[in-house]
Structure 1
Amino acid sequence: MALHNRVSRKELKERILQDNTPRTTISFYCYFKITDPVQFRNHLYRNFSDMGVLGRIYVAEEGINAQISVPTGKFDTFKEFLYRLDTALINLRLNIAVDDDGKSFYVLDIKVRNKIVADGIEDAGFDMANRGKYADAKTFNKLSNDPETIIIDMRNHYEFEVGHFENAIEIPSDTFREQLPMAVEMMQEHKDRNIIMYCTGGIRCEKASAYMLHKGFTNVFHLEGGIINYVNKVKEEGLENKFHGKNFVFDQRLGERITDEIISKCHQCGKPADTHVNCVNDACHLLFIQCGDCANEFEECCSIDCKEFIHLSAEQQKELRSGVDLGRNVFNKSKSRLGNLTTRNSTD
């Protein structure tokens, strides 16, 4: 069988939208040694394809990072296969999506990377084996009630904007690799205090906790399973929920509703809103927050310019898109990072 997808993504998306097969969205990761990442990747692709698994998976010598959608009827088969892959994966925690419509992914992408999360760490002495202590939901709540505890959000600014834990500190950066040294610098005066780090599913904050210990910090914790596992445990155990708003996720949903609170604003008009969208202009695809009124007014575009662009002929659009590199096209209102992304919206 082919070890990559050969059907257009547009067609695959339509198939999933029309398919009523119940699916379960899952995320998981594990830091463990993979001797031959390419062989491991190909083995995964063959078996996951046979099971109908969709999603995005990164494989590297340091482990695996996955966000996937599994046919609910194949969930047990999937777990048994995963647990047999390596002793490190036996009974691995699987984070089940909090708010799931079964349409989170429409293609299977498995890629071999240098690392399962880009961190920018080049220090040969850094060791993931020396990581912070796990904090489960109950421990997190107990520690967070202590005013001497510092809670650090290790996600990007656009994730923090729509939802975060009470009293959490944002590391104002666009990427994880930038956040690591910034977190160390920001916390220099608090090396002996309890520090809890968290992220979406646990992979970033686990590595961040190891990095902080590497840099001389002593009492470092990381939230077990991240926000997703925390919310599920809070429901199961009847605990107080200290997360407010929406949990941003990197799939078609772009967010899981955790509480009814809307703590962010539309990037175009300033009304309360927390729905992330991508500008429908194929030459833009800016990720930004848009309310329903602005979606109608701007025809799901981020600006008047993009609204006008989508009404050009296909030939004109193609010509204007030629050579455009979108890169990380994410809206950011921070004055310290003003750029052409923020000038797209006349009301900003």
Structure 2
Amino acid sequence: MTTPILNIAAYKFVTLDGLPERREQFRRACAEHDLRGTVMLSPEGLNCFLAGATEAVRAWVRWLRTLEEFADIEVKESFSERQPFNRMLVKLKKEIIAFGVEGIDPQQRTSPKLPPAELKQWLDEGRDVALLDVRNDYEVKLGTFADAQPIGVDHFRHFPEAVEKLPADWKEKPVVMFCTGGIRCEKAGPLMEHKGFKNVFQLEGGILKYFEHCGEAHYEGDCFVFDGRVAVDPQLQPTQAAQCFACQAVLTAEEQQDARYVVGQSCPYCYLTPEERTQRRLEKRQSQIRAAVDPLPGSVPYTNRRPINIPARYEGRTLLECLTEMHPHVPTAQWQASLDAGRIVQGARPVRPWRVVRGGEQFTHVIPDTVEPDVNAAIEILYEDEAIVAVAKPAPLPMHPCGRFNHNTLVSILNRVYAPQVLRPAHRLDANTTGVVVFSRTQAIARRLQPCFQTSEVDKRYLVRCQGHPPEDRFVCDAPIGREATRAGGRTVDEDGLPARTEFRVLERYADTTALLEARPITGRTNQIRVHLWHLGWPVEGDPVYLPDGRLGESQTLPAAGQPMALHAWQLRFPSPSTDEPLTLVAEPPASPFAPSVAFRSAKAARET
């Protein structure tokens, strides 16, 4: 036969000092008797829920009563077949029952206590009395006295506001408050009297003592208890109620039959469909991004340490020559000034401009008090799983640290949000291009995914508004793209360059002499769509580099407050690294420079093909 476990609940409001020493005293006593549960000590007294072998618990109670402050403490008992607590805790608290109202001191004043038998007699006689359940709503759910009024709170600290909503006529009639063991009523009663309730009583010992003396008379259901039993019936025996591990909701036996109840995971009150879980996760990420860019990370002055890696082809050149050729868009005089100021170092030592370099050497460009230009940081999370993250990139926003940008880049911002994980872009978009960007979450995924973006394995569809009206509805550009960068960092068509192919389809021609196109880059070269349209004589609307009439601009990035370039990475389709099933990612184009009606028509047209 299983030896029953004795459960006790006790509290007393009494002034206590030396709490750290008392905590150690109680820890030793509980360990000596092999008890589990919780003891709360505060300057206003003690509150405890403990369980263990019957004789051990009663020996502990005898020890407690040897302490002068607790010589007369009342203890409520009940039995269970199993130990309802997992461990033993002795806590120090500001209050033994959280209330948060100054001036309420149960040592000085409490409402009159009504013994359980007297309450039963009142109810048997049908007296005109208001019953007020001061427990939390989730406790009331399992049971309460017939015709009792729940106070309507999810935590006892909200009791003061809830009192204001009680019926006005209750201030003149008898009101009997009750809770699990009586401790909450010790504070609730004086507050109600202060609010003008003239005839307030508290049920002595709470529901548990009422069960002990009166059983189920006038009570409907069970009583929630704060341990592994979850609830006890009027015979003080554990019931079939359960509590959800995830959200702490109290569950009846019927609710436990619901398919959404999975022990340790979910219940009907907190269960989320896969779609809802995904939405919650994305909303959390979106909130983290908003926090990471307010203020923009590059807007706060900092010392920028930019690495300089020397390619093998510059072996034997001076450092100044090397820097000038590696970064043709930066004036030589600017590099000379940084070298003269000692801001280009190897380790901690400044390097002179005439220093002859070797391939593979590394230097650092130290730029003090760096403040980066503003960018558009309205990044939207489109998709996330264990393998990849996909976002809708706004513009202007550089992908990587480059030029004047370091912290104000897409990669830097996302890695702040996903730290310590490092996201690796599977492909790139120009700073002025909006749309879908995919990141790998591990090196293994990156090794699989990145090569796919260099081939036709990934179906890439862009929306682009170009200057001019291409005469054919469908056309292709196969012009090779050069390896060397222009002054603004772009590329041009070069017969000796890298093979490139882009397929175009006209979606609409406008009266302002612009046209809306769908572009499908079959290869993945730098600025490929922009270069090909510029080469054909139909440059992208708003492009700062590839200008009409074959001209090249001097600046790569548009101002944050201006209109973005009319190039949008609208759709990507590829096998999911997680499931190998086809995955389609879509980012709707921005209203400017794509008017909403244009975006709708273009999206509809693309889907129809």
| TM-score, normalised with respect to structure 2 | 0.41
Which structure ranks higher in relative contact order (CA pairs < 8 Å, sequence separation ≥ 6)? Answer: 1
Q: CA deviation at 1:307?
A: 9.0
**Alignment match, 2:19:** 37
Does residue 287 of the first structure (1) align with residue 252 of the second (2)? Answer: no
**Alignment match, 1:127:** 105
- Change in 2 beyond 3 A, CA 1:307/1:52: farther
Which whole-Å CA distance do the structure 2 matches of 1:232 and 1:175 have between them? 26
Counterpart residue identity of residue 234, structure 2: I
Q: CA deviation at 1:71?
A: 1.7
Secondary structure of 2:80's partner? coil
Which whole-Å CA distance do the structure 2 matches of 1:118 and 1:105 have between them? 22
Does residue 95 of the first structure (1) align with residue 57 of the second (2)? Answer: no
Which whole-Å CA distance do the structure 1 matches of 2:167 and 2:240 have between them? 30
Which whole-Å CA distance do the structure 1 matches of 2:214 and 2:128 have between them? 23
Contact 1:246 1:274 in 2 (8 A): no
Q: Identity of paired residues, percent? A: 25
Which whole-Å CA distance do the structure 1 matches of 2:226 and 2:258 have between them? 24
Q: CA deviation at 1:293?
A: 7.8
Which whole-Å CA distance do the structure 1 matches of 2:105 and 2:97 have between them? 15
**Alignment match, 2:122:** 143
- Change in 2 beyond 3 A, CA 1:306/1:65: farther
- Change in 2 beyond 3 A, CA 1:157/1:247: same
What is the alpha-carbon root mean square deviation over aligned residues?
2.9
**Alignment match, 2:230:** 254
- Change in 2 beyond 3 A, CA 1:150/1:50: same
Contact 2:212 2:235 in 1 (8 A): no
Which whole-Å CA distance do the structure 2 matches of 1:163 and 1:176 have between them? 18
Q: CA deviation at 1:208?
A: 0.9
Q: CA deviation at 1:222?
A: 0.6
- 1:234-293 CA-to-partner distances (Å, cap 9, x unmatched) read 15xxxx712110101111111112279xxxxxxxxxxxx9723214xxxx3442425468
Secondary structure of 2:10's partner? strand
Q: What is the correspondence of 1:152-231 to structure 2 with a 5 Å cutoff?
A: 152-231=132-211
Q: CA deviation at 1:306?
A: 7.2
**Alignment match, 1:276:** 242
Which whole-Å CA distance do the structure 1 matches of 2:133 and 2:49 have between them? 20
| TM-score, normalised with respect to structure 1 | 0.70
Contact 2:35 2:57 in 1 (8 A): no
**Alignment match, 2:33:** 51
Richer in helix (by share)? 1
Q: What are structure 1's unaligned runs of at least 5 residues?
A: 1-19, 261-272, 310-314, 317-321, 324-348
Contact 2:8 2:77 in 1 (8 A): yes
Counterpart residue identity of residue 246, structure 1: D
- Change in 2 beyond 3 A, CA 1:138/1:38: same
Counterpart residue identity of residue 86, structure 1: E
Q: CA deviation at 1:168?
A: 0.5
Counterpart residue identity of residue 7, structure 2: T
- Residues 208-217 or 163-172, more deviating: 208-217
Counterpart residue identity of residue 241, structure 2: T
- Change in 2 beyond 3 A, CA 1:27/1:293: closer
Counterpart residue identity of residue 133, structure 1: P
- Change in 2 beyond 3 A, CA 1:32/1:103: same
Which whole-Å CA distance do the structure 2 matches of 1:44 and 1:150 have between them? 40
Which whole-Å CA distance do the structure 1 matches of 2:217 and 2:149 have between them? 18
Secondary structure of 1:40's partner? helix
Which whole-Å CA distance do the structure 1 matches of 2:212 and 2:62 have between them? 22
Larger CA Rg, structure 1 vs 2: 2
- Change in 2 beyond 3 A, CA 1:306/1:107: farther
Aligned length: 270
**Alignment match, 2:9:** 27
Richer in strand (by share)? 2
Contact 2:225 2:232 in 1 (8 A): yes
Counterpart residue identity of residue 36, structure 1: G
Secondary structure of 1:207's partner? helix
Does residue 105 of the first structure (1) align with residue 85 of the second (2)? Answer: yes
Q: CA deviation at 1:188?
A: 3.6
Secondary structure of 1:186's partner? coil
**Alignment match, 1:302:** 267
**Alignment match, 1:71:** 53
Q: What are structure 2's unaligned runs of at least 5 residues?
A: 278-384, 387-417, 420-609
- Change in 2 beyond 3 A, CA 1:84/1:173: same
Contact 1:198 1:226 in 2 (8 A): yes
Secondary structure of 2:7's partner? strand
**Alignment match, 2:219:** 243
